[in-house]
């Protein structure tokens, strides 16, 4: 009897161990979202998570991965390196093997952690060229600020025939680097830089710098900042009577520009990663986004949608280790709403840039009136 009880107990223990092992080996398809959910960058995070959600919902409606639903794990990076690192570590603890993210300080700070833990970090919004040097597990699915800055310089000099400008940028990695690249490109074309100014993130009063810029009588100002800061700069410039051609970059586009700056934003030009909402993929995504969120998708909703689709594709062979996903990304040729994504040496992409503007209170593609 004792032997029989012993065998029963042993069998129960072995069954528990076996069940526990099976549970621990259960595959979970989970995409991390390391985005700003609070603070000055929250608007970008909102567009990002909405793009991710649409991609995941589409995949789950189609059966998920081998019948299993894909999950999203979100953490707030608060647009800064310190909080970003902590949030990324939280995602890693949740067994996330690929994380979509944005904001250059966050990506640069998290690069070493991605490398150490072999967790893929797919940047869909940050544009610092330093991200190219962040390590083998960090990929960028969006063009960096160098490309936009050079395109802006060329457009002002070659197309608008403006030969002397000022620059005004936010004191962040992207802002400072964009300023350097723009100045170098503009001067190489034969242009002159009349003045270069910098402002802090979250600043409220820009009048001192704007008065200095106004005194130069520059025909154009290259502006690199976040949406709310850019809107206040335009509004205060108009109040001072500063008349110039403003030229900005992709992060300029956002509803707060028009809500805050109003007519002061009319005619501002900016570079923008290519997104064609008229082709089949773009049209379907745009219509889905409009129906779900009742507004137009911006470039970040689009890049994060593509990023989530790429992550989902990387899961399809059932291998969800960081190394397997890394190797998959190195070989992809993915056609999405933001064009074709193929990662070059350094894990970055080349995609077209277009010039956009605000006309009659709407963000539209620039067309010369000549």
Query: Which DSSP string corresponds to 245-282?
Result: EEEE-GGG-SHHHHHHHGGGGTT-EEEEE---TTSHHH
Q: What are 354's strand-pairing partners?
A: 272
DSSP structure class, residue 132:
G
Mean pLDDT to the nearest integer, 58-83: 95
With vertex at residue 48, the alpha carbon angle to CA 45 and CA 50, rounded to the nearest 5 degrees, is 110
What stretch(es) of the chain map to CATH 3.40.50.2300? 30-144+277-352, 146-272+355-365
pLDDT, averaged across the chain: 90
Mean pLDDT to the nearest integer, 323-345: 92
Task: List, for residues 153-211, the tens digit of each pLDDT value.
Answer: 999 999 999 999 999 999 988 899 899 999 999 999 999 999 999 999 989 999 999 99
The pLDDT, as a whole number, for residue 40 is 80
State how far the Cα of 247 lies from the Cα of 55, in Å rounded to an integer. 33
User: For the chain, where are the E strands, in sequence order?
Assistant: 30-35, 71-76, 98-101, 120-123, 138-140, 164-170, 192-199, 220-224, 245-248, 269-273, 334-336, 339-341, 353-359, 362-365
* Closest alpha carbon to 326 in 343, 339, 349: 343
State how far the Cα of 75 lies from the Cα of 103, in Å rounded to an integer. 14
pLDDT tier for residue 328 given thresholds of 50, 70 and 90: very high
The pLDDT, as a whole number, for residue 103 is 92
**347 backbone dihedrals φ, ψ, rounded to 5°:** 65, 40
Q: 370: Cβ–Cβ under 8 A, 6 or more apart, which residues?
A: none
pLDDT of residue 276 exceeding 70, the answer is no
Q: What is the CATH number of domain 30-144+277-352?
A: 3.40.50.2300
pLDDT tier for residue 11 given thresholds of 50, 70 and 90: very low
Task: List, for residues 288-320, the tens digit of each pLDDT value.
Answer: 999 999 998 988 999 999 999 999 999 987 778
**231 backbone dihedrals φ, ψ, rounded to 5°:** -60, -45
Decide: helix, strand or coil at residue 243: coil
Task: List, for residues 88-116, the tens digit of each pLDDT value.
Answer: 999 999 999 899 999 999 999 999 999 99
For residues 258 and 265, the answer to whether their CB atoms sit within 8 Å is: yes
* Closest alpha carbon to 130 in 152, 153, 155, 112: 112
Give the alpha-carbon dihedral of 77, 336, 278, 355, to 10 degrees: 60
Beta strand pairing call for 339-341 and 334-336: antiparallel
State how far the Cα of 273 lies from the Cα of 293, in Å rounded to an integer. 22
pLDDT tier for residue 278 given thresholds of 50, 70 and 90: low
State how far the Cα of 331 lies from the Cα of 24, in Å rounded to an integer. 30
The pLDDT, as a whole number, for residue 81 is 95
CATH class, domain 146-272+355-365, is: alpha beta
With vertex at residue 150, the alpha carbon angle to CA 253 and CA 306, rounded to the nearest 5 degrees, is 50
Task: List, for residues 229-260, the tens digit of each pLDDT value.
Answer: 999 999 999 999 999 999 999 889 888 899 99
pLDDT of residue 119 exceeding 60, the answer is yes
On whether the pTM is more than 0.85, the answer is no
State how far the Cα of 182 lies from the Cα of 311, in Å rounded to an integer. 33
The fraction of the chain above a pLDDT of 90, given in percent, is 74
């Amino acid at each position: 009897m004792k032997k029989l009880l012993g065998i029963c107990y042993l069998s129960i223990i072995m069954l528990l161990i076996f069940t526990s092992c099976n549970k621990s080996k259960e595959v979970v398809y989970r995409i991390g979202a390391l985005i700003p959910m609070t603070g000055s960058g929250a608007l970008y995070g909102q567009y990002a998570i909405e793009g991710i959600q649409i991609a995941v919902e589409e995949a789950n409606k189609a059966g998920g991965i081998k019948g299993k639903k894909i999950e999203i794990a979100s953490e707030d990076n608060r647009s800064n390196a310190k909080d970003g690192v902590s949030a990324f570590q939280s995602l890693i603890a949740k067994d996330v093997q690929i994380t979509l993210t944005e904001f250059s300080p966050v990506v640069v700070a998290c690069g070493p952690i991605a490398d150490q833990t072999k967790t893929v970090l797919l940047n869909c919004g940050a544009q610092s060229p330093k991200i190219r040097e962040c390590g083998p597990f960090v990929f960028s699915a969006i063009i960096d600020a160098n490309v936009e800055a050079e395109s802006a310089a060329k457009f002002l000099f070659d197309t608008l025939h403006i030969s002397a400008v000022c620059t005004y940028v936010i004191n962040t990695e992207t802002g400072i680097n964009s300023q350097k690249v723009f100045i170098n490109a503009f001067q190489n074309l034969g242009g002159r830089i009349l003045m270069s100014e910098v402002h802090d993130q979250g600043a409220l009063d820009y009048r001192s710098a704007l008065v200095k810029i106004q005194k130069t009588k520059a025909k154009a100002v290259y502006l690199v900042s976040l949406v709310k800061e850019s809107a206040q700069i335009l509004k205060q410039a108009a109040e001072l009577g500063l008349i110039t051609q403003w030229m900005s970059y992709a992060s300029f586009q956002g509803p707060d520009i028009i809500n805050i700056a109003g007519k002061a934003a009319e005619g501002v030009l900016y570079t923008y990663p290519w997104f064609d909402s008229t082709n089949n993929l773009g049209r379907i995504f745009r219509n889905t986004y409009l129906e779900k969120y009742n507004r137009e998708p911006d470039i970040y909703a689009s890049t994060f949608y593509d990023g989530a689709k790429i992550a989902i594709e990387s899961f399809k062979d059932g291998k969800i280790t960081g190394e397997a996903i890394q190797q998959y990304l190195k070989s992809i040729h993915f056609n999405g709403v933001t064009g074709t994504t193929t990662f070059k040496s350094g894990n970055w992409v080349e995609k077209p840039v277009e010039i956009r503007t605000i006309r009659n209170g709407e963000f539209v593609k620039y067309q010369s009136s000549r």
